[in-house]
Amino acid sequence: MMPVKNVNSFRDHKIRRKIWLKVHLYIGLFAGTVFVLIGLAGSLSVFWPEIDSELNPALKKIQSYPPQADYRSLDEIAVAAKAVIPRQGKPYALVFPARTDEAFSVTYSLPAQTLKQSEWHLVYVNPYNARVLGQRLMFDTGNAWRGNLMNFFVRFHYSLALGEAGRTFVGIVALFLLFSVLTGLIVWWPSSGKIRRALTIKRHASAERFNFDLHKTFGFYCSIVLLVVLASGIEMVFPGYADGLVKVFLPLTPKAGAPMSAETSQREPITLVQAAAITDKRFPDGVYKWIFFPQGERDAYRIVKGSPQEVNRTRPRRTLWLDQYSGKIVQERDPMTDAAGDVFLQWLYPLHNGEAFGLSGRIIIAITGLVPLLLYVTGVIRWLQKRKAKKNLARQVSRISSLVEP
């Protein structure tokens, strides 16, 4: 006979497991649908630059150019783009291509129907002859359904394409889902002697058992990646809170003030070629990502030229701010000199989209985006199976009770 102490311990464990199972179930049922949608959009977002180029070859790809040809100057490329921007448009950034067979682009904004609304457009320029290839709407801040397809999927992934309110909602859902994954691991945790059973799918099992094994096994094997993706996503939605939490354990570099150009009677800004020459002198290695145009008389050029050592290639941090008139360096950010907390935060986005581990990492993250669909479908099937079993049991009890009653 089992000792009373062991019986009580077993009963308490069973009660706790039942509670965790309920928590896991209800979070999955109510937040799971959102998880499925943002997961599918995330799978597409991992390769959105490549997909977008394939969908828009006339705009983004250079069909033919002479071997060993050089780019035209940055100023020629920018002037060509600005020539087709409407008079009320405001150029924002020069975007460098990731490949030599792709076009440069210049982003610009246009006022829309209300003061809080704006349209963002892209002008594409062939860098070998400085000719405009075309332009298109990137997105409309007042209408989530206007814009190019891949940009929509990216915005849907982190905000359901609903702006800041949607971004906050997705962040809150991600917090619940993070807890759901943790409770799923608690429920999955096997007792001694049952590890192998918990890690495998039973062969020749019934459809009900196969569905159960599929849910728990895939959930376990994907849990680490899901936790990393959810935690890094939460950091991007709530960076202020994340910085505060990181600061408790690791030092962060103090944030500098807004860099400004000096007041001067000179009103002729330096050229982009000059700005690039200053940047190359300060950072001779690396790859250009963006040059942001000054938006006001006191604003500075912001030039992002990623370091070869940076793990974050999509959003590199190495940046120079130049006085738009004198070209003097007014501020710089070099991630190689960042504090330990900054280095930790820099890794989150490359882990989120998989680029920290190259192409294989991106493929893993793209596949992981499909996992929520699998877990949701198998979880709902399991829930329906258990409901059906309970109803059948209740009918049997009722039938037996009616038979034994006098």
User: What DSSP line would sit under 327-362, residue for residue?
Assistant: --EEEEE-GGG--HHHHHHHHHHHHHHSGGGHHHHH
Residue 130 to residues 36, 54, 66, 90, Cα–Cα distance (Å): 43, 22, 14, 20
Query: Per the domain annotation, does 44 fall within a domain?
Result: yes
pLDDT score, position 115:
55
pLDDT score, position 329:
96
pLDDT score, position 331:
95
Residue 137 and residue 74 share a domain: yes
Whether pLDDT at 144 is above 90: no
Q: For residues 162 and 41, is the Cβ–Cβ distance under 8 A? A: no
Residue 61 to residues 98, 101, 125, 129, 182, Cα–Cα distance (Å): 11, 6, 10, 14, 45
C-alpha angle 87-88-94 in degrees, rounded to nearest 5? 80
User: How do residues 389-402 score in pLDDT, each as one tens digit?
Assistant: 888 877 887 777 77
Average pLDDT, rounded, for the chain: 89
Query: Per the domain annotation, does 157 fall within a domain?
Result: yes
User: How do residues 313-360 score in pLDDT, each as one tens digit?
Assistant: 999 999 999 999 999 999 999 998 999 999 999 999 999 999 999 999
Query: Per the domain annotation, does 175 fall within a domain?
Result: yes
User: How do residues 167-210 score in pLDDT, each as one tens digit?
Assistant: 999 999 999 999 999 999 988 888 776 778 788 888 888 888 88
- CATH code of the domain in which 317 resides: 3.10.450
Residue 217 and residue 172 share a domain: yes
Lowest mean pLDDT among 2-6, 57-61, 117-121, 263-267: 2-6
Among residues 141, 174, 207, the one where a domain terminates is: 141
Whether pLDDT at 92 is above 90: yes
Query: Per the domain annotation, does 265 fall within a domain?
Result: no
pLDDT score, position 386:
85
Mean pLDDT of 94-119: 85
Exposure letters 192-215 (e unless 16+ CB within 10 A, then b): eeeeeeeeeeeeeeeeeeebbbbb
Name the DSSP class of 61: B
Residue 192 and residue 173 share a domain: yes
pLDDT score, position 10:
55
Q: For residues 39 and 373, is the Cβ–Cβ distance under 8 A? A: yes
Residue 307 and residue 282 share a domain: yes
Residue 380 and residue 245 share a domain: yes
Among residues 280, 307, 337, the one where a domain terminates is: 337
Q: How confident is the model at residue 117 (pLDDT cuts 50, 70, 90)?
A: low
Residue 386 and residue 314 share a domain: no
Residue 112 and residue 50 share a domain: no
Looking at the structure of the chain, the number of domains it has is 3
Mean pLDDT of 25-30: 89
The closest of 42, 43, 33 to 379, measured between CA atoms, is 33
Query: Per the domain annotation, does 15 fall within a domain?
Result: no
Residue 207 and residue 154 share a domain: yes
Q: Which domain holds residue 239?
A: 22-56+148-253+359-406
Report residue 3 as tokens: 């000792």
Mean pLDDT of 141-161: 88
Q: How many Cβ atoms sit within 10 Å of the Cβ of residue 343?
A: 14
Exposure letters 118-128 (e unless 16+ CB within 10 A, then b): bbbbbbbbbbb
pLDDT score, position 365:
96
Whether pLDDT at 406 is above 70: no
Whether pLDDT at 140 is above 90: no
pLDDT score, position 162:
87
CB-hemisphere CA count at 13 Å for 328? 9
Residue 182 and residue 133 share a domain: no
